[in-house]
């Protein structure tokens, strides 16, 4: 069974028409390679520019959602979509070098980085299924990705309300929800995931040996990732997300 077929079937299942054939879940997981899961190449990811590059199924669903929002005079602008392993490695290692040069101990530098950035190989942006979106055609604040802009009188609050009501109809879900009991990454009202592709990818991702990935990819600072650190990062930063994206 190829993955596209699986995605179509899972979309149908999502509508309540259960049509799964006699295939084990493991068969489906084999449709994703290690490299696809860590952002090192995926033939289904397409796009001409940084904000347009994403999984082709994500893009198709996003276009539909954008058109529907535009009818309500809400204009969706993507500020971040697919991000490669290499790009995330540059971000992570740049910060690691800067923080340790400033005198931080490696462990403290790593904990500071992961407040806002992922360890390369663990970003959901590697999958092409996740996008950061804001509202266009409104006065744009200097730093757009801040929760306050999506609430109260913030410039993006109309978008936030619209997404709360309609995003799920197009397969998109907020990942890092505003839930005081949630651990891991902080609340990100701009970050949405296309569930029909990202849910099976997360299930496959859970089978990866992260320690092995970090070592193989020679990530700077990874010699300071203890077993306990990796296990906490996995359960909090990777898996403590919107439950709608978990299974």
Residues of the shown chain interacting with Zn ion in the complex, contacts defined by CB under 5 A:
132, 191
Residue whose CB is less far from Zn ion, 81 or 219:
81
Residue whose CB is less far from Zn ion, 132 or 240:
132
Residue nearest to Zn ion (CB): 191
Q: Return the beta strands (E) in the chain as ranges.
A: 45-46, 54-55, 75-80, 130-136, 172-174, 191-194
Q: How far is the CB of 102 from Zn ion (least distance, A)?
A: 26
Residue whose CB is less far from Zn ion, 28 or 129:
129
138-142: Cβ within 8 A, 24+ apart: none
Q: How far is the CB of 28 from Zn ion (least distance, A)?
A: 25
Distance of alpha carbon 220 from alpha carbon 93, whole angstroms: 6
Question: Which residue is listed with tokens 């990811």?
Answer: 45
Q: How far is the CB of 45 from Zn ion (least distance, A)?
A: 16
* Helices and strands in the chain, H and E counts: 10, 6
Characterize the bridge pairing of strands 191-194 and 45-46.
Answer: unpaired
Q: How far is the CB of 93 from Zn ion (least distance, A)?
A: 19
Find out whether 190 and 132 touch, Cβ atoms under 8 Å: yes
Residue whose CB is less far from Zn ion, 9 or 42:
42
Find out whether 62 and 78 touch, Cβ atoms under 8 Å: yes
Would you tell me how many other CB atoms lie within 10 Å of the CB of residue 123? 22
Q: How far is the CB of 191 from Zn ion (least distance, A)?
A: 4
Residue whose CB is less far from Zn ion, 44 or 130:
130
């Amino acid at each position: 069974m190829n993955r596209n077929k699986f995605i179509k079937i899972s979309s149908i299942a999502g509508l309540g028409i259960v049509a799964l054939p006699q295939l084990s879940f493991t068969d489906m997981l084999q449709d994703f390679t290690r490299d696809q899961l860590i952002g090192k190449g995926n033939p289904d990811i397409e796009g001409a520019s940084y904000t347009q590059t994403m999984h082709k199924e994500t893009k198709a669903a996003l276009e539909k959602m954008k058109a529907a929002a535009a009818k309500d005079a809400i204009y969706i602008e993507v500020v971040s979509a697919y991000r490669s392993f290499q790009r995330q490695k540059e971000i992570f290692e740049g910060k690691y070098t800067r923080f340790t040069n400033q005198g931080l101990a490696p462990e403290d530098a790593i904990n500071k980085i992961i407040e806002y950035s992922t360890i390369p190989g663990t970003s959901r942006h590697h999958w092409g299924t996740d996008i950061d979106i804001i509202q266009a055609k409104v006065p744009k604040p200097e730093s757009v990705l801040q929760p306050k802009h999506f609430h109260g009188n913030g410039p993006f609050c109309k978008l936030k309300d619209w997404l709360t009501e309609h995003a799920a109809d197009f397969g998109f879900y907020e990942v890092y929800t505003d839930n005081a009991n949630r651990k891991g990454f902080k609340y990100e009202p701009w970050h949405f995931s296309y569930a029909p592709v990202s849910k099976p990818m997360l299930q496959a991702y859970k089978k990866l040996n992260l320690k092995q990935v970090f070592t193989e990819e020679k990530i700077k600072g990874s010699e300071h990732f203890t077993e306990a650190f990796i296990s906490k990062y996995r359960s909090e930063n990777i898996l403590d997300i919107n439950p709608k994206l978990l299974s």
